[in-house]
Structure 1
Amino acid sequence: MLKVFQRNKLSAEEKSFLRKDRLLLILSGILTGISFTPFPFPFTLFLFIAFIPYFLVLEKRKSLLEINRASYLMFFTLSLITIYWVGSWQSKADPFLMIGGGVLIFFYPVVLLINSTLFYLSQKIFSKEKSFWLFPIIWVTGEYLLTLTDLKFPWLILGHGLAKFTAFIQIADVVGAFGLSLIVLYINVLLFKAIKYYSSDRKLFFRYVTISLLVFMFFFIYGIIKLNRKDEKNEKYLKVGVVQPNLDPWDKWELGGLDDILKNYIELSEECTKLNAKIIIWPETALPVYLLSGTYSDIVDSIYSFLRKNNVYLLTGMPDYIVHYNNPPTDAKLSKSGNFYYSTYNSILLLNPNSYEIQRYGKMQLVPLGEKVPFVDALPFLANWFKWGVGLSGWNVGKDTTVFKLKIDNDSVRVAGLVCYESVFPDFVTHFVKKGAQFITVVTNDSWYGNSSGPYQHKEFAALRAVENRRAVVRSANGGISCLINKFGITEFETKMFTRTSFVVDVPLSDELTFYTKYPFIIPILSSAFSIWIIGINFLLWLKRKFKFDK
């Protein structure tokens, strides 16, 4: 273990090479990082060459330690540029949130070392030359792993970096964000191979450059054709009102002035009803209370009075509280009195103007540490160690995807509701669409992170979900960015950060099922299967060496 930190004496020439390699690694991290929002579109193109400096260094590294040392520097630079905002770093930010954000910047690159380790293992079976062709497959395996376990954090899927390259991302309706990552990395590999042969073999140089350009142009032209396609069927539209109240997320949880908070929502919602909205969307945890716990009947009555008066539905993010008197689920909490079990969810509720029947959805993809302590089900004592000052670290995990059903002018409308972080998971969203959702809503509260990169990245990633499923996406964010994104990933309307506003948009309803919606796991599962095969072969080779099996 000490060898990891041990420094060997280097010659002046070796030190010079090391400095150059470090600059290449930092350059690779910078080019990858600035490909992501909030950097504008032209910077996105850097993603197609960003890994070349990294590959140039990897080619010279032989041992696992050397490869991972180099990889960590590249990945840390990427992490610092793209997810620095997770700690919030505001005066009101919870110290635990800031500590967690700081740890993530250093820990996320460690998780990405899974990719470089698999690359090293592939060289035990194939030559280093061939292993570079396998790197994109290995990388997608790592991205997919980041959607699993309680530590899931698939924020930096490379395909997400292309969100503003509208023409190129249209192929996501076939391959999804993971497929975009694969395409981007293969273009990087092709150009890396071209650079290698620039001096020694111009024929191979031009061959690899030509192939990379053909690959790029194929998917670009596919996107242009899609963007210019005329739909044969006339789409139906639904008038949707969106409320952005711009409440301070820290002060809101102090539970003061609930009547004033509701008044703010009602005033903004009334502006939507004047424009004939049929459904109004409020953001995540719109009211900082368990509205349906029985304690806030006057607030509930006020909301229903508004809905009935204007004959409008309300889809709202809301903390939800469920009591289990019989057969409680295994993750239910015992009340202090010990008389009953209960569960709490970061939920979306659909309130109907013509009925008190409430449709519910409990958030299933919880933010690690922020909303759920990782592995707390197996290690309950961890729940007492990690708690936000705002009390958000103890949500239960929702049990199933819900598609909300509305009856509008004798027509049935089906809506998917995602809570904040859930819109980052490519395959997760397909479950709602396969259940019949005709458009997607995202309720969120990105104000926790101020005017940083986070809210802008989160908003742009939703464009990939729109293209993958060919569904319009409507976002209602507490302090921004609220918007309408069409099925081509184009933002048709958006608000500014930290503005109190509301608006009404015509949202197209679609029943189309894309190839990706039907088969979202093809690329990640095949990539993972190949990576598992690499691990398995290496394990067998290790056994052979360990026990000196005869040939």
Structure 2
Amino acid sequence: MFVQRIQSDAVKISIVGLLLGICFSYSQIYVLSIFPLAVYMYISTQKKTFKEAIRLQFLFFLTMYLSSLSFLWAMYPLSFLEVSRIQAIGLLLLGWGGLSIMASLFYIVISVIAQFQKTSFLRGIVLVLGWCLAEVALEYAGFPWLRVGNLTLFSPIFSSIASIGGVFLCTLLWLLVALCISQMNRRGMILLTVVVLLWGSIGYLFTTTPQNSSTYLVSLIQGNISSQEKWDEEAFRYNEEIHQELLSQVSNDSQAIFLAETIFPFTQYQESTLYQEMTSLPVYYGAFEGEDDIYNSLCSVETQECYHKRYLVPFGEYIPKWMSNLFPLLNDFQFAGYISEGKEAITLTSLIGTISPLICYESIFPHLVSTGDLIYIASNDSWFDGSQEPLQHVAHARMRSIEQGVDTVRVGNTGITCIIDRMGTITDQLPVRTRGILEGNIHIYKEGSIYSRNPWIHNILPLGCLVVLLMISLQGDKKRILELKLMLYGR
């Protein structure tokens, strides 16, 4: 019976991990994520052996990441690497499994700490705090792709809490809701409802209350050029003609033009000259910049300012050191390894206001957003056409808008190209995998959100959770230390 129960829990937790991973891929079912989270909390807060707890945590997070990262297979057969199909399958399995396993390991230690607690509710609190801190740890490890806080975007009230405490606070509260449901804790649910409604209403009213703002018409260019076409020498002229035609169709009333990430494999000087010939309007674009060190950059034709990408994409622009040490053969493959990391957080000046630039993958990192009047995200999701990756990616952009209390323009080579307001709502959007111009209004506000005006919040909330976690851990059942030693050392 005992073995059967373990197997049953393993199956259940694997299923809910799979379901939660699916919820991350479809904004229409974000609200349903509360059910797999509640089941996860119910199973994980039961008293178990350390070995069983670790096993179940690993299964849950592994299946969650494997299902949500399945979009990596859209890159098959990795033609840009010039590898065989067998090698492509091997590399994708390594990236898919490696990233999933790496992320899962961050949560395992929390399951051990939780098992020292004497009550299921305290075990749940440890799991909630640990999950939040694991998201922060993954941020600094370079892969914070799945954030529970993004799932609260289904509710304008709930997600508005991000304008006060960032996506971290949304994650914390959504997990606490799941815990209270799993424990059938009515008092906890009442308290959480009051907190969410109070903080959410404050954030919502702040972002929806009319302010002195300026409205500008901007144009976003989606050329629908895939990554393979971009690097094809025979397609250079075709790509240039497409963008010349699109730029010629931009309204003269437009006050700024935004383009996607490195739509040409040209240098900053070459692209700037090209755009000056195509249009007299201010243009913001992606280009490669530098001589000895080559950077993936966002630049302004008008001021010649350039922002260099600071966070590179694992397996896309570099191989994580721990992975290359484990598998030295990976060093033989060219993962755009010539791209250097930028060091400086800068903004781009413009007539419409101060622009905070982010390049593609960087939009998933809250701390990378510089204080500005408008967020400009240039992306290239063409590697993952037909998958759910662009939808997962744009959820991060929506959350950055709420956190900063500003509008966002997001431009993708093949999509998703959209304008996002300070509530995180997509107000205008081009269909993916189409060629076109998105013209829409953006608003420049006099002041940003509470979160953007108090940057210390980004650090103080995780620190507070860590302190509470340590205080709870010190009150744990010391008798179980012997059990843990027996598991680790066998004596």
TM-score of the pair, normalised by structure 1 = 0.78
Among candidates 255, 268, 278, match of residue 278 of structure 1: 255
Among candidates 326, 337, 340, match of residue 396 of structure 1: 340
Give the Cα separation in 1 of the matches to 2:427 and 2:256.
19
Give the Cα separation in 1 of the matches to 2:94 and 2:394.
24
Give the Cα separation in 2 of the matches to 1:62 and 1:261.
60
Residue 102 of structure 2 corresponds to residue 103 of structure 1: no
SS class of match (1:448): helix
Contact 2:163 2:403 in 1 (8 A): yes
SS class of match (2:283): strand
SS class of match (2:350): strand
Residue 13 of structure 2 corresponds to residue 25 of structure 1: yes
State the one-letter code of the partner of 1:449: F
State the one-letter code of the partner of 1:416: S
Structure 1 369/50 Cα, relative in aligned 2: closer, same or farther at 3 Å? same
Give the Cα separation in 2 of the matches to 1:248 and 1:255.
13
Give the Cα separation in 2 of the matches to 1:316 and 1:385.
31
Residue 55 of structure 2 corresponds to residue 69 of structure 1: yes
Contact 1:245 1:264 in 2 (8 A): yes
Structure 1 131/103 Cα, relative in aligned 2: closer, same or farther at 3 Å? same
1:397 Cα deviation after fit: 0.7
Contact 1:68 1:113 in 2 (8 A): no
1:347 Cα deviation after fit: 0.8
1:533 Cα deviation after fit: 7.3
Give the Cα separation in 2 of the matches to 1:537 and 1:261.
64
Q: Which moved more, 1:365-374 or 1:471-480?
A: 365-374
Give the Cα separation in 1 of the matches to 2:66 and 2:376.
30
Contact 1:44 1:165 in 2 (8 A): no
Residue 398 of structure 2 corresponds to residue 420 of structure 1: no
Give the Cα separation in 1 of the matches to 2:16 and 2:330.
40
State the one-letter code of the partner of 1:260: Y
Residue 227 of structure 2 corresponds to residue 249 of structure 1: yes
| 1:306-337: CA deviation from partner (whole Å, max 9, x where unpaired) | 34xx3x11111112223xxxxxxxxxxxxxxx
Map residues 317-466 of structure 1 onto 2, 5 A cutoff. Answer: 317-322=286-291, 342-352=292-302, 357-375=303-321, 385=331, 387-388=333-334, 392-407=336-351, 413-429=353-369, 432-433=370-371, 437-466=372-401
Contact 1:373 1:382 in 2 (8 A): no
Contact 1:451 1:497 in 2 (8 A): no
Residue 258 of structure 2 corresponds to residue 289 of structure 1: no
| 1:211-261: CA deviation from partner (whole Å, max 9, x where unpaired) | 315523642465456546653433102221100000021131133332332
TM-score of the pair, normalised by structure 2 = 0.86
Give the Cα separation in 2 of the matches to 1:97 and 1:473.
36
SS class of match (1:237): strand
Among candidates 520, 532, 535, match of residue 458 of structure 2: 520
Contact 2:284 2:298 in 1 (8 A): yes
Contact 2:31 2:154 in 1 (8 A): no
SS class of match (1:346): strand
Structure 1 384/53 Cα, relative in aligned 2: closer, same or farther at 3 Å? closer
Paired residue for 2:275?
Answer: 303
State the one-letter code of the partner of 1:103: L
RMSD of Structure 2 on Structure 1 (CA): 3.1
1:426 Cα deviation after fit: 1.8
Unaligned runs of 5+ in 1: 1-12, 195-207, 323-341, 547-551
Contact 1:143 1:157 in 2 (8 A): yes
SS class of match (2:26): coil
Contact 1:373 1:386 in 2 (8 A): no
Structure 1 443/134 Cα, relative in aligned 2: closer, same or farther at 3 Å? same
Paired residue for 1:135?
Answer: 127
Kindly indicate which of the two structures has a greater share of residues assigned to helix. 2
Structure 1 214/533 Cα, relative in aligned 2: closer, same or farther at 3 Å? closer
Give the Cα separation in 1 of the matches to 2:241 and 2:466.
51
SS class of match (2:241): helix
1:362 Cα deviation after fit: 0.6
Contact 2:48 2:115 in 1 (8 A): no
Paired residue for 1:148?
Answer: 140
SS class of match (1:276): coil
Q: Which moved more, 1:500-509 or 1:249-258?
A: 249-258
SS class of match (1:316): strand
Map residues 174-193 of structure 1 onto 2, 5 A cutoff. Answer: 174-193=164-183
Give the Cα separation in 2 of the matches to 1:478 and 1:231.
34
Residue 285 of structure 2 corresponds to residue 316 of structure 1: yes
Structure 1 37/466 Cα, relative in aligned 2: closer, same or farther at 3 Å? same
1:369 Cα deviation after fit: 2.4
Contact 1:87 1:100 in 2 (8 A): no
- Identity level (%): 21
State the one-letter code of the partner of 1:314: V
Q: Which moved more, 1:468-477 or 1:183-192?
A: 183-192
State the one-letter code of the partner of 1:144: V
SS class of match (1:167): helix
Give the Cα separation in 2 of the matches to 1:226 and 1:467.
9
1:302 Cα deviation after fit: 3.5
Give the Cα separation in 1 of the matches to 2:111 and 2:7.
23
Which of 1 and 2 has greater Rg?
1
Contact 1:121 1:534 in 2 (8 A): no
Contact 2:260 2:378 in 1 (8 A): yes
Unaligned runs of 5+ in 2: 486-491
Give the Cα separation in 2 of the matches to 1:516 and 1:217.
21
| 1:354-374: CA deviation from partner (whole Å, max 9, x where unpaired) | xxx510111001111211232
Give the Cα separation in 1 of the matches to 2:415 and 2:341.
26
Among candidates 49, 61, 67, match of residue 81 of structure 1: 67
Give the Cα separation in 1 of the matches to 2:89 and 2:153.
28
| 1:164-219: CA deviation from partner (whole Å, max 9, x where unpaired) | 3333201111121111111011111112221xxxxxxxxxxxxx235315523642
Give the Cα separation in 2 of the matches to 1:383 and 1:289.
30
1:344 Cα deviation after fit: 0.8
Contact 2:416 2:431 in 1 (8 A): yes
Structure 1 174/250 Cα, relative in aligned 2: closer, same or farther at 3 Å? same
Structure 1 276/97 Cα, relative in aligned 2: closer, same or farther at 3 Å? farther
Residue 82 of structure 2 corresponds to residue 113 of structure 1: no
